[in-house]
Chains A and B, each alone.
Chain A
Amino acid sequence: MLSDSDITALILTLKLAALSTLILMMLGLPLAWWLARTQWRGRFLVEALVALPLVLPPTVLGFYLLIAFSPNAWLGRWYQHITGSQLAFSFSGLVIGSVLYSLPFVVQPLQTAFSAIKSDLIDAAATLRASPIDRFFNLVLPLARPGLVAAMVLGFAHTLGEFGVVLMIGGNLPGETQVASVAMYEHVDTLQFENAHALAGTLLCLSFVLLVGVYATHKRYSVLRW
């Protein structure tokens, strides 16, 4: 059975995934729209930057974040100045890490969906005097709905699976930075197999159900478009 501390870790993980997904959608929608529509020739540079977390080891991201969060670095200093608390070993720090880590999983499905929308439709709406905001929310988003759902679920699911980044910047604080994957790691390291099985099984079912949801509603959604 799941122990109390494992339930705490699971709830924290779901909170982290939900909040990260929300922020990712707010960042990802305009970014993906711009990437899908821009004629700028340097677009591929931004695409490569967005895709970096797909190929970088999470430990690399964790290492850079640990340095950036330090009071000796501008980000850590600025955050401490504004909020009075530090970024490392905090839930906010994990949110920043997760947003960076799951960015491609949100941006790429959105970009694919936006690219598939024919310009004629948008132009037609424009000639009917729909404002850009109106066009985006009442035409583009409904048309891109499958991509939107995929982006949300993939962003959420990918954050659930986060481990390396959290291990490096979290400090393993119960209820604050001890997410399910880190709790799992601790169980295995201390040979507590009953707890490990309970937590692993829960995460396995959760991830599977999430992905079944995506694949049942959309035929195929590949994150990496070759």
Chain B
Amino acid sequence: MANNGEKLFIKGNEAIARGAIAAGLKCYFGYPITPQNDIPEYMSAALPAVGGEFVQAESEIAAANMLIGAAACGVRSMSSSSSPGISLKQEAISYLAGSQLPTVIVNMNRGGPGLGDIGPSQGDYFQSVKGGGHGDYRLLVLAPGTCQEAYDLTIKAFDLAFKYRNPVMILGDAILGQMKEPVITWTPDEKDEKEGHDWRMCGAKGREGRILKSLFLSEGSLAAHNQMLQDKYTDMASYTQQEEYQIDDAELVVVAYGSIGRIVKSTIKKLRNEGHKVGLFRPITLYPFPSGDLKKLAEQGKKFLTIEHNLGQMVEDVRLSIRTITDSDFFGFLPGNLPTPDDFEGPILKSLGGK
């Protein structure tokens, strides 16, 4: 990593946009929706300035399908949106996964269901990690909690997309997108120019034509394709990442991700100062989910509380991880409100004091 050391005070949305360009983004396709408009606005000026292509598509649907075309050419491509817009992109996301096309899709989660509001929420967890489109497929889902992490993970997302030939989602929310923090920028070492050379569309010179597709009609061929995808997802499972804070001697482990994980961390700092043995487990990869490390904590006899800015989604994956040993409490902070560290103090103390 070549660290150029520039320290900027920027929004999470801009950190993502800058990270993508540092990663060698060639094509960005988007459609305005709050609270992620800073990303297409930044891209419209910055990407052409470095020789890339920016298209404001006629819809989220078109933007996601433009990704299919650019990703099929093996160039680094990205789109960003927020919840209702991500729903519109799901058709193309299923095709991207089925056709094994690497790309990065950003979702700055807002409140739902339906039009909801433009405030923060984590209501899109299921849609992101279980697949909002049709068929058996998985995305790699990365959930940054700070603007610096948003920058770093966006760069990482492109490498993962090409490593696994799979779409990668950056799942943030309106808090992360709209808050400003210092970010130290860096540019990765030059990327491999042969990236995708063995599968991308580039003109069938001196070889058979390549077909990038998700249609498999002859008997057994779809089964074989799905088995291959599943084997790939099994390989992905080894790639997990999380932040563990004050966890070694903790009696209660609070599991929370993204912006909420960060707010919970403030609550835990305060409770630690008061002598409570609580810690934070913040999954950074939501798919694959860090189940193995959670299970190890369960084996140590720790209690669990999952906190989310929704009505209970990630808690299902926490429970699946530790189900043979223990269970997890759940506290859901309703979308439509913005939580503070104080909001989580009561639920954490209640779980800590419970049986």
> Is B one of A's binding partners?
no
Chain B residues within CB distance 8 Å of chain A:
none
